[in-house]
Structures are given as structure tokens and as C-alpha cells.
Amino acid sequence: GESVGLHLPTLSVQEGDNSIINCAYSNSASDYFIWYKQESGKGPQFIIDIRSNMDKRQGQRVTVLLNKTVKHLSLQIAATQPGDSAVYFCAESRMEYGNKLVFGAGTILRVKS
């Protein structure tokens, strides 16, 4: 989920298990949502996106679920691997505003081998 200040929430999972990272977004008018992965010293890397007319979208090993009623977004990673260790950010935008992204604070995912 979201956090304030320096203390990001951390999710620790065993290699091979499934991971679920949650995000509460703020603007009920947002209609486009993205998950990014950020490794140390790198810029955010696109994982998967979803538009508000959908409630689920699947990619390779990843699934994003959108619940507009409670303004909640989740990222599911199947068979988590050590290379999945990173900080994960959700971001929201309203398409009509030029896709300006509003980011959550992030969640640290640690994968134990």
C-alpha cells in the first residue's frame, strides 16, 4: 500500500511464491493506471498498464487488478524470482491532462532465495 515519508512498506516473499503489491489511488477521476519497477540506480521501468474501462489485465507473469469502487489497484507477480526484487510504484493519470502521472510512494519487494 501507500506510505508516508522515508519508511516504504516492504514485502518479503520466498522465491517461487506469488507476490501481491497493493496501491490505493487518490483521484476518482483517474482513468489510466500504470505499474513501474525501479531497480537501484535506474529509472522506473514500465511493467503493465490498465485503463479504467477494465478491471483486470494480464501480462507475462504479471496481472493488474483495478477496483474503482474502492480506488484500489494491485499487481500480482507469479512465481516471483530474485530479479523481481525492486521498488514498485503505481501511478495514475487523467488522459485529458496530457497523461501527467501521479505516483504513489512505492513498495519494496524483497525476494528470498
Per CB under 8 A, contacts with another protein among 16-35 are: 34
Q: Draw the binding track, 71-90, toward another protein (x: CB under 8 A; -: no contact).
A: ------------------x-
- Answer yes or no whether residue 46 interacts with another protein by CB under 8 A: yes
66, 73, 75, 91: which one binds another protein (CB under 8 A):
91
DSSP assignment string, 6-41? T---EEEEETTS-EEEEEE-S-TT--EEEEEEE-TT
- Answer yes or no whether residue 6 interacts with another protein by CB under 8 A: yes
CB contact burial 39-56 (16+ within 10 A = b; e otherwise): eeeeebeebbbbebeeee
- Answer yes or no whether residue 65 interacts with another protein by CB under 8 A: no
Tell me how far, at minimum, the Cβ of 113 lies from another protein, in Å.
26
Name, in order, each residue with C-beta under 8 angstroms of 39's C-beta and a sequence gap of 6 or more.
45, 86, 87
Note the residues at the interface with another protein (CB under 8 A).
Answer: 3, 5-8, 34, 36, 41-46, 49, 89, 91, 98-106
